[in-house]
C-alpha cells in the first residue's frame, strides 16, 4: 500500500504522521523503549495535541533484534499469533552502551544504535561481530502512523469504526541490494521494485498472488526481516521510495525482527529458530509419485493399468496418489471412497501394495466440507464449522455446493478431523495431500476462539490445518514418517513438510514461474518442495513434458500430476519407446534420482538442522559473495554440491552460469572453470548438471529400484577435484548416520569400511560405463 504521491506529497485521502525525533530513551529488561513524537519538540507546548510512536527495540537471541512500533497501546492484542521458538528460546544477554554515536543495544552479533543527536530520528542496525557492517536503518520519515480517510479535525477519532488506521516502517535499501523470499512467489526473483501483499490466495502461478505468503524476506546484505503478524501485510520494496522497503499493516502495532547472518545460510538458520525447523521426511517420499490427476475418470482397473504400464517401462513408482474423485462429486471432503468406483478401498489398497507396484498410497483432502457429504452434517451438528456473525454456519457455493469450513481453533473439531483421517489410515493410506486452505473468509465470520481476529486467521489457517493433519500422521506412523503435500502455507508451516507449487500451466513460461516459486519459498525457510511435473493446466506437448520431468526429478520431491489429462508418459507422445521418448526419458531421470538418494538423504539431514532448502536451493545461498548469484532464477543447487539448469527451449539450448571454481559435468565428466556463462544444447536425457569441486559424491547402486534400498551396498564414491578433508556423510534408508567418508593426506578415501557389496571409488568423476549415450553440444 502506498501512502505518498512521489517524494513531496501525501497520497490523496490519506493522513500520515511520521516519528520526527527520539525524544526519550528508557532502558527496559531486554532493550530500550523510544518515545518518538510526530513533530520536533522545541518547546513545552509542542508536547500538546501531538501523537507519538513508541518503538520498543529488544534483544531476542544471538543475532536477532526485534522492533515494535506502537501508536495507541490500549488497543487489544487479538490472536492468533505465530508459534515462535517452538524448540525453545536460546538465552542472550542484552547489552546497552553509550558512546558519542548514541545508545547501542547489542544482541550477540547484531547491534542497533540510536543516534544521540538532538531532535533527530536515526536508528542504525549493524553487525556487532567485529566487522562493523551496516545492515539497514530507520531514518527520517521512516516510522509512521496513517489514517484513511484523511481528516482535519482530531475529534473525528472519537469514533474509529469508519476510519482505517495503519502502522508503517521503512528500512533503508542500499545501492545494489536485492530482496528475496516472501513465500512462494512466481514473479521476478529479486523483489526490488515490486508491491507485494501477503494475503494467501488461490491464484495459480501466473499472477502476483501466492498460495504461500511468508512474512520473511532475505537481503543480499547479509540480513533478513521477519514480520511478526499473520494478518495482511503490504510491502513496497523500493516501489514507493526506491531506497527503502516499506512495511505496513492495518492496526495500532507493527512488529518485526531483524536477523543477522552474516551469510544467508546463517540468516535462515536463525529464522528457523524463531519460526521452527522443517521436520525430516522418510526415504520413500523422495521417490516418484504418480497421481490420477484431477478431473480424470479412474477406478481400480485404471490405477493398476497405470502402475503396470510404468513397471513395464522400467519406471519405479514409490507413491500412488488418489486425487479428488476418490470421493463422490458434491461430497468433498467427506472421507468416503466412491462406492461405485472403489467398493472395497481397504482391500484395493492392500492388493496394490502386495503387488509390489507401489510402496505407499496418498489421498487428497481439503478443509472445505460440502453440504451433501456426511462430514458436513456431523461437523455442523457438533459446532465444528466456522459461523457467521448471526450464528449461521458460514457457507458458500464456491468449489463445493454449500460448503462449510472446519474451525481448527476448536480443539474438539481438531480431534474429530483427526479421527476422520484415522479411518483413512486404517484403510492403508500413508500420506495426505492437504489441498486448498487459502480461501478463508475475513468478513462476517466468527471463530470458536473468540480472541481470533478474522484477518489474522486468513493466512494463519494454513498453519492450523496442516498442523492437525501432520500431527495425526505422526501419531499413527511416527515422528519422521509423516508426509503432507500441502499447497497453502504461512510462516512456520515449514515444520510440516512438504509443500508443492500449485496450479501451473503446461508451458515453458510456467516451468520458469515454478522455478522462481521454488527458489523464493526455499529462501523463506522451507526445506522441501515439489511441483506438478508436466504442468497442471492443459496437456503438455512431449518436449515440455520431458523438460519438466528433468527439472521435477531434481526437486526434493517429484510428482506427476495434471488437471483434466493423465501424466503417464505414454499418453503424452503416443507411447514412443525410443531413447528420446517420454517413457525412456522418465525412466532415466527416475533412475538418476534413485542413484542420488545417498547424497540427497544425507543433504536433507543438514537442511532440517539448519532450515535451508534441499532443492530448489538458490545459488546465492552457496555463493553469497558472487553478485551474479543473487540474480540467478533459471538454475538452482541440489544440496550444496550439484548445480542444475532446466531447459526452457524446444531446441534444447540452455544458458547457465558457473560460479568461481572447477565444475564437472555429471553426464560426461568434462570440466569447466568458472566464473562465467556457458551455453549448451541438450537432448532429453540430460540438462546442465554440474558437480562442484572438492565434492565426495556418493551414488547408490545402478541396480537399485525406488527410493528405499541399502544405500551402502554397491555404492560408488565419486571424487571431484578433492582436497584433503573433503567429506561425505553416510546415512541409511532409516535416516541414521552410519559413517563419514573423508579424503586423507594421501588423497585416499577413509571410512569405506562401512560400505557393503561391490562398492568402488572413482577418482576423476563417476564411472560412465553402462550409461546411455548422451547428446550434449557445447555452444559457448
Active site members: 435, 438, 503
* Phi/psi at 286 (5° precision): -80, -15
Q: Are 556 and 600 contacting, i.e. CB atoms less than 8 angstroms apart? A: yes
d(CA 726, CA 715): 18
Give Cα 635 distance to the centre of its chain.
Answer: 17
DSSP-derived secondary structure for 730-779:
EE-TTS-EEEEEEE-TTSPEE-GGG-BSS-EEESSS---TTPPP--EEE-
Q: Are 482 and 265 contacting, i.e. CB atoms less than 8 angstroms apart? A: no
C-alpha cell at 207: 499472477
Q: Are 724 and 743 contacting, i.e. CB atoms less than 8 angstroms apart? A: yes
What are the angstrom distances between the C-alpha of 649 and each of 619, 620, 680, 681, 699? 21, 25, 11, 10, 30
d(CA 542, CA 219): 39
Q: Which of 500, 513, 504, 502 is nearest to 648 (CA)?
A: 513
Q: Which of 452, 445, 381 is nearest to 413 (CA)?
A: 381
d(CA 643, CA 55): 44
Q: Are 221 and 135 contacting, i.e. CB atoms less than 8 angstroms apart? A: yes
- Region of 275 on the Ramachandran plot (φ > 0 left; ψ -120 to 50 alpha; else beta): alpha
C-alpha cell at 12: 490523496
C-alpha cell at 659: 560460479
Q: Are 700 and 687 contacting, i.e. CB atoms less than 8 angstroms apart? A: no
d(CA 238, CA 179): 10
Name the residue with cell 543438514: 606
- Region of 85 on the Ramachandran plot (φ > 0 left; ψ -120 to 50 alpha; else beta): left
d(CA 393, CA 369): 12
d(CA 614, CA 622): 12
Which residues does 559 contact at the CB level (< 8 Å), separation at least 6?
A: 288, 289, 290, 291, 321, 485, 500, 530, 531, 532, 533, 552
Instruction: Please give the DSSP secondary-structure letter assigned to residue 555.
Output: S
Residue 439: count of CB within 10 angstroms of its CB: 18
Name the residue with cell 515453458: 508
d(CA 378, CA 502): 30
Give the strands of the sheet with 716-720, arranged side by side.
Answer: 695-699, 716-720, 760-762
Buried b vs exposed e over 461-493: b needs ≥16 C-beta within 10 Å?
A: bbbbbbbbbbebbeebeeeebbbbbbbbbbbbb
Q: Which of 205, 206, 228 is nearest to 216 (CA)?
A: 228
Amino acid at each position: 500500500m502506498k501512502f505518498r504521491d512521489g517524494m513531496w506529497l501525501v497520497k490523496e485521502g490519506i493522513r500520515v504522521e511520521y516519528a520526527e525525533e527520539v525524544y526519550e530513551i528508557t532502558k527496559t529488561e531486554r532493550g530500550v523503549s523510544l518515545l518518538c513524537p510526530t513533530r520536533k519538540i522545541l518547546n513545552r507546548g509542542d508536547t500538546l495535541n501531538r501523537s507519538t510512536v513508541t518503538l520498543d527495540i529488544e534483544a531476542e537471541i544471538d543475532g536477532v533484534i526485534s522492533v515494535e512500533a506502537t501508536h495507541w497501546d490500549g488497543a487489544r492484542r487479538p490472536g492468533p499469533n505465530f508459534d515462535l521458538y517452538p524448540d525453545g528460546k536460546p538465552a542472550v544477554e542484552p547489552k546497552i552502551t553509550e558512546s558519542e554515536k548514541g545508545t547501542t543495544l547489542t544482541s550477540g552479533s547484531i547491534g542497533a544504535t540510536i543516534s544521540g543527536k538532538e531532535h533527530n530520528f536515526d536508528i542504525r542496525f549493524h553487525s556487532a561481530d567485529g566487522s562493523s557492517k551496516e545492515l539497514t536503518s530507520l531514518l527520517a520519515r521512516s516510522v509512521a502512523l496513517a489514517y484513511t480517510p484523511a481528516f482535519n479535525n482530531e475529534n473525528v477519532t472519537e469514533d474509529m469504526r469508519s476510519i482505517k488506521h495503519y502502522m508503517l516502517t521503512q528500512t533503508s535499501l542500499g545501492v545494489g541490494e536485492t530482496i528475496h523470499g516472501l513465500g512462494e512467489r512466481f514473479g521476478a526473483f529479486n523483489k526490488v521494485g515490486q508491491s507485494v501483499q501477503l494475503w494467501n490466495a488461490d491464484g495459480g502461478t501466473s499472477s502476483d498472488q501466492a498460495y504461500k505468503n511468508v512474512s520473511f524476506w532475505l537481503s543480499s546484505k547479509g540480513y533478513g526481516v521477519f514480520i511478526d503478524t499473520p494478518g495482511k501485510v503490504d510491502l513496497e520494496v523500493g516501489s514507493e521510495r526506491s531506497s527503502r522497503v516499506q512495511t505496513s499493516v492495518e492496526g495500532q502495532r507493527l512488529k518485526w525482527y531483524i536477523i543477522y547472518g552474516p551469510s544467508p545460510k546463517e540468516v535462515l538458520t536463525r529464522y528457523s529458530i524463531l519460526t521452527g525447523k522443517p521436520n525430516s521426511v522418510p526415504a520413500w517420499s523422495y521417490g516418484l509419485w504418480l497421481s490420477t490427476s484431477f478431473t480424470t475418470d479412474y477406478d481400480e482397473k485404471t490405477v493398476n493399468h497405470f502402475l503396470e504400464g510404468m513397471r513395464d517401462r522400467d519406471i519405479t513408482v514409490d507413491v500412488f496418489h488418489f486425487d479428488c474423485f476418490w470421493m463422490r462429486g458434491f461430497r468433498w471432503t467427506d472421507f468416503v471412497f466412491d462406492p461405485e468406483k472403489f467398493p472395497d478401498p481397504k482391500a484395493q489398497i492392500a492388493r496394490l501394495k502386495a503387488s509390489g507396484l507401489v510402496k505407499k498410497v496418498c489421498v487428497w483432502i481439503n478443509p472445505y466440507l460440502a453440504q451433501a457429504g456426511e462430514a458436513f452434517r456431523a461437523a455442523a451438528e457438533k459446532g465444528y464449522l466456522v459461523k457467521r456473525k448471526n450464528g449461521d454456519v458460514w457457507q458458500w457455493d464456491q468449489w463445493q455446493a454449500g460448503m462449510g469450513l472446519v474451525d481448527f481453533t476448536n480443539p474438539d473439531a481438531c480431534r474429530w478431523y483427526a479421527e476422520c483421517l484415522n479411518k483413512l489410515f486404517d484403510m492403508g493410506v500413508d500420506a495426505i495431500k492437504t489441498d486448498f486452505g487459502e480461501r478463508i473468509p475475513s468478513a462476517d465470520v466468527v471463530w470458536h476462539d473468540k480472541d481470533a481476529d478474522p484477518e489474522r486467521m486468513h493466512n494463519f489457517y494454513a498453519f492450523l490445518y496442516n498442523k492437525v493433519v501432520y500431527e495425526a500422521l505422526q501419531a499413527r506412523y511416527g515422528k519422521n514418517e509423516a508426509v503432507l503435500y500441502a499447497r497453502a502455507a504461512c510462516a512456520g508451516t515449514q515444520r510440516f513438510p512438504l509443500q508443492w507449487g500449485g496450479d501451473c500451466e503446461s508451458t515453458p513460461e510456467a516451468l520458469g514461474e515454478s522455478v522462481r516459486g521454488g527458489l523464493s519459498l526455499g529462501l523463506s525457510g522451507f526445506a522441501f518442495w515439489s511441483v506438478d511435473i508436466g504442468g497442471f493446466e492443459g496437456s503438455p506437448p512431449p518436449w515440455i513434458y520431458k523438460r519438466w520431468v528433468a527439472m521435477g526429478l531434481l526437486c526434493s520431491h517429484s510428482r506427476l500430476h495434471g488437471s483434466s489429462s493423465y501424466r503417464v508418459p505414454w499418453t503424452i507422445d503416443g507411447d514412443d519407446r525410443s531413447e528420446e521418448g517420454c517413457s525412456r526419458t522418465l525412466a532415466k531421470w527416475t533412475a538418476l534420482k534413485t542413484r542420488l538418494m545417498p547424497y540427497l538423504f544425507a543433504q536433507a539431514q543438514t537442511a532440517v538442522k539448519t532450515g535451508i532448502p534441499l532443492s530448489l536451493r538458490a545459488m546465492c545461498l552457496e555463493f553469497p559473495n558472487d553478485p551474479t548469484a543473487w540474480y540467478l532464477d533459471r538454475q538452482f543447487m541440489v544440496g550444496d554440491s550439484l548445480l542444475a539448469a532446466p531447459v526452457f527451449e524446444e531446441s534444447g539450448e540452455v544458458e547457465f552460469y558457473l560460479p568461481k571454481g572447477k565444475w564437472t559435468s555429471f553426464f560426461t565428466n568434462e570440466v569447466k572453470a568458472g566464473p562465467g556463462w556457458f551455453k549448451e544444447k541438450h537432448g532429453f536425457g540430460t540438462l546442465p548438471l554440474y558437480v562442484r569441486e572438492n565434492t565426495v559424491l556418493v551414488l547408490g547402486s545402478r541396480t537399485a529400484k525406488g527410493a528405499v534400498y541399502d544405500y551402502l551396498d554397491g555404492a560408488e564414491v565419486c571424487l571431484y577435484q578433492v582436497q584433503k578433508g573433503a567429506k561425505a556423510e553416510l546415512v541409511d534408508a532409516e535416516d541414521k548416520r552410519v559413517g563419514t567418508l573423508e579424503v586423507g593426506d594421501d588423497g585416499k578415501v577413509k571410512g569405506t569400511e562401512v560400505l557393503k557389496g561391490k562398492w568402488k571409488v572413482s577418482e576423476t568423476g563417476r564411472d560412465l560405463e553402462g550409461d546411455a549415450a548422451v547428446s550434449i553440444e557445447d555452444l559457448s
